[in-house]
Structure 1
Amino acid sequence: MSPVRLLIVLIAAVSAIGLAVVLQRALGAKPGRPVAATAPAAAPDKPMTQVLVAKRDLAIGERLTAADIGWQAWPSDAINGAFVTNGAAPAKPQGKVALAQAVVAGAADHMIGGDPAKALEGAIVRDPILTGEPITSRKIVRGGEGGYLSVVLTPGKRAMAVPVSTDTAAGGFILPGDRVDVLSTHDAPNPGPDGGKLILAETVLRNIRVLALDQSTTAGKDAKTIVAASATLEVGPAEAEALARAKAGGPITLALRAYTDLGAPSGMTQAVASDSAIRINRGGQTTSVAVRP
């Protein structure tokens, strides 16, 4: 081989080797080692806890139903001790997260016990709750808890109890939430010639809402009757005064209204004038008879 051809071969070989080195460095791999694709390291999942929240805006006095509340994932490190959780802890909680979950679980069990979502059905909203806001014990009241009756009352109304029995409460068929008329029975002097006493009965209040019987604000499951010693009624200020006078005058009787009378007039009946006596002259004899206009 001539010296010229040998020089050309050497230059070509050096150029090929140089090109290979440049390509390997451009691809980020060391010479002599294959290039391998590496996946980026996956970020660790943030621990989450299921928190009971409102599914819609809830106003004061509304009664919670299953459709009003639901579970929502909440960052475990942002859990407040007043929140209600389902008791399920996230995977491997540590430090403050574990402590927060322990506090929440204890608070939820103390507040309601059992299944939180089911236990809260029927509770009354004490303070407004917005959509997505966690449910807390401060904003709801359940039957039997302090402040329950004051939340159930219609604004401007009063709760007043009257003694009842099976005979004076429609045989026990009156239940919380029903509407009743309140009748008062009392004795009155008989101005007639026979003397004796008259027994007068009058409707004092009509279409009044029954809040509770004894300390029960709701009827038990499938309950059709409740035998109670007292009934708590929802009345206005003037109605409360009329009811107090009626209680002092004699026995109180509750007459059950039909469910369709819900929108009927409610409150005091027309004021009844006091009895007046007129004199009737018959054959020279004068007698006094009590009349009521």
Structure 2
Amino acid sequence: MNPVRLLIVLVAAVSAIGLAVVMQRAMGGKPAAAPSAAVAPVAGKPMTQVLVAKRDLAIGDRLTGDDVTWQAWPTEAVNAAFITNGAAQPKPQGAAKVTAAAAIAASDMIGGVDPAKAVEGAIVRDPILTGEPITPRKIVRGGDGGYLSVVLSPGKRAMAVPITSETAVGGFILPGDRVDVLQTREEVGPTGDGGSGKVMIAETILENVRVLALDQSTAAEKDAKSIVAATATIEVGPIDAEALTKAKAGGPVTLALRAYTDLGGPSGVTTRAARRKPGEDNLVRINRGGETTNVSVRP
């Protein structure tokens, strides 16, 4: 073949290839599908609408429709405790979330009541974070009841204790903390020298009880590290309530803050306080600077 003619053919072939590339890019970079080829649809991952919190919810908050919303959740990851609309649907294209209005309109009714409306009026028992699924364990249907009647643990009572900054760790005790309740009192007993006199007794009456509120505050304000209050409301059992009432009548009480790691220990009236009988105190005689002090101790 003539070299000139061969060169012309090669240039034409290169030009045709370049034109094809340009046209492909102009059409979005996707090559045209062959007429006989069938495109298989991509199946969406099954999703279920789960009721979640729209904002951070604190203990004692009463839920309204503005506090919750529906959110698409992978069906395979739905926990049995989650509140759902009972229907699975394909994963929405182009939207990670479904608006509350659209979800409620399309949701199945459970027992004739929409789940989002069923939680209205409930009171938050444990903190719930934004986007966290609502579970029955973390809310209480309070109805017309007050805050304390629904946040109290079953069988427990709420009792108020007068406090000061000195008897409440300088105000560093906050709602939700665990404390011991100590009583200080004077009693007449043997002095150890054959006579009798007044002795000062300090005794732990209750241990590891939960603080429900300080005055009317059921939660510390954001970033607050202390609350100076005149009254602490604590959660006690029926027998604990009797012991605390006797302690308050016998002398001033003091709250001792417990470490967070001690929360799982025994709670309620101490065995020592429950078994104590008058006259069972052991006296220790202390001589200091020429003065003698009698202190009652317990084994």
Return the TM-score normalized by structure 2. Answer: 0.50
What whole-Å deviation, never above 9, does each CA across 1:103-160 have from its counterpart, x for those lacking one? xxxxx9xx9xxxxxxxx9x8349xxxxxx99xxxxx7569xx9511111100000000
CA contact (8 A) 1:124 1:140 kept: no
Query: Judging changes above 3 Å, is the alpha-carbon distance between structure 1 residues 140 and 201 closer, same or farther for their aligned structure 2 residues?
Result: same
Aligned to 1:257: 258
Query: Judging changes above 3 Å, is the alpha-carbon distance between structure 1 residues 290 and 256 closer, same or farther for their aligned structure 2 residues?
Result: closer
Q: 2:277 aligns with which of 251, 256, 273?
A: 273
Aligned to 1:236: 237
> Counterpart amino acid of 2:270?
T
Secondary structure in 2 aligned to 1:242? Answer: helix
Query: Judging changes above 3 Å, is the alpha-carbon distance between structure 1 residues 253 and 292 closer, same or farther for their aligned structure 2 residues?
Result: closer
- The 2-side partners of 1:177 and 1:291 are apart by 31
Secondary structure in 2 aligned to 1:199? Answer: strand
CA contact (8 A) 2:184 2:202 kept: yes
Deviation at 1:265, TM superposition (A): 1.0
Q: Specify every segment of 5 or more residues in structure 2 that has no aligned partner in the other structure, as ranges.
A: 1-49, 54-58, 71-99, 107-111, 127-132, 135-139, 283-294
Aligned to 1:17: none
CA contact (8 A) 1:274 1:292 kept: no
Query: Judging changes above 3 Å, is the alpha-carbon distance between structure 1 residues 291 and 247 closer, same or farther for their aligned structure 2 residues?
Result: closer
Aligned to 1:180: 179
Q: Looking at CA atoms only, which structure, 1 or 2, has the larger radius of gyration?
A: 1
- The 2-side partners of 1:167 and 1:262 are apart by 23
CA contact (8 A) 1:191 1:290 kept: no
- The 2-side partners of 1:176 and 1:277 are apart by 34
> Counterpart amino acid of 2:51?
A
Report whether the alignment pairs 1:202 with 2:203: yes
What whole-Å deviation, never above 9, does each CA across 1:81-100 have from its counterpart, x for those lacking one? x9989xxxxxxxxxxxxxxx
Query: Judging changes above 3 Å, is the alpha-carbon distance between structure 1 residues 141 and 225 closer, same or farther for their aligned structure 2 residues?
Result: farther
- The 1-side partners of 2:162 and 2:280 are apart by 31
Q: Map of 1:1-293 to 2, 5 A cutoff?
A: 54-55=51-52, 69-71=68-70, 72=100, 73=102, 74-75=104-105, 123-124=124-125, 147-192=146-191, 193=193, 195-270=196-271, 271-276=275-280
Secondary structure in 2 aligned to 1:165? Answer: coil
Query: Judging changes above 3 Å, is the alpha-carbon distance between structure 1 residues 188 and 217 closer, same or farther for their aligned structure 2 residues?
Result: same
Query: Judging changes above 3 Å, is the alpha-carbon distance between structure 1 residues 183 and 292 closer, same or farther for their aligned structure 2 residues?
Result: closer
Aligned to 1:26: none
Aligned to 1:91: none
- The 2-side partners of 1:208 and 1:69 are apart by 32
> Counterpart amino acid of 1:263?
G
Deviation at 1:235, TM superposition (A): 0.3
Aligned to 2:16: none
Secondary structure in 1 aligned to 2:190? Answer: coil
Instruction: Report how many residues are paired.
Output: 181
What whole-Å deviation, never above 9, does each CA across 1:227-273 have from its counterpart, x for those lacking one? 01010110000000000000000101000000000101111111223
- The 2-side partners of 1:277 and 1:55 are apart by 57
Query: Judging changes above 3 Å, is the alpha-carbon distance between structure 1 residues 235 and 223 closer, same or farther for their aligned structure 2 residues?
Result: same
Query: Judging changes above 3 Å, is the alpha-carbon distance between structure 1 residues 149 and 291 closer, same or farther for their aligned structure 2 residues?
Result: closer
- The 2-side partners of 1:196 and 1:273 are apart by 18
Q: Specify every segment of 5 or more residues in structure 1 that has no aligned partner in the other structure, as ranges.
A: 1-52, 86-107, 112-119, 126-131, 134-138, 279-288
CA contact (8 A) 1:190 1:290 kept: no
CA contact (8 A) 1:275 1:291 kept: no
Aligned to 2:11: none
> Counterpart amino acid of 2:237?
G
- The 2-side partners of 1:54 and 1:64 are apart by 16
> Counterpart amino acid of 1:273?
K
Query: Judging changes above 3 Å, is the alpha-carbon distance between structure 1 residues 188 and 146 closer, same or farther for their aligned structure 2 residues?
Result: same
- The 2-side partners of 1:277 and 1:185 are apart by 14
What is the aligned-residue identity percentage?
A: 56
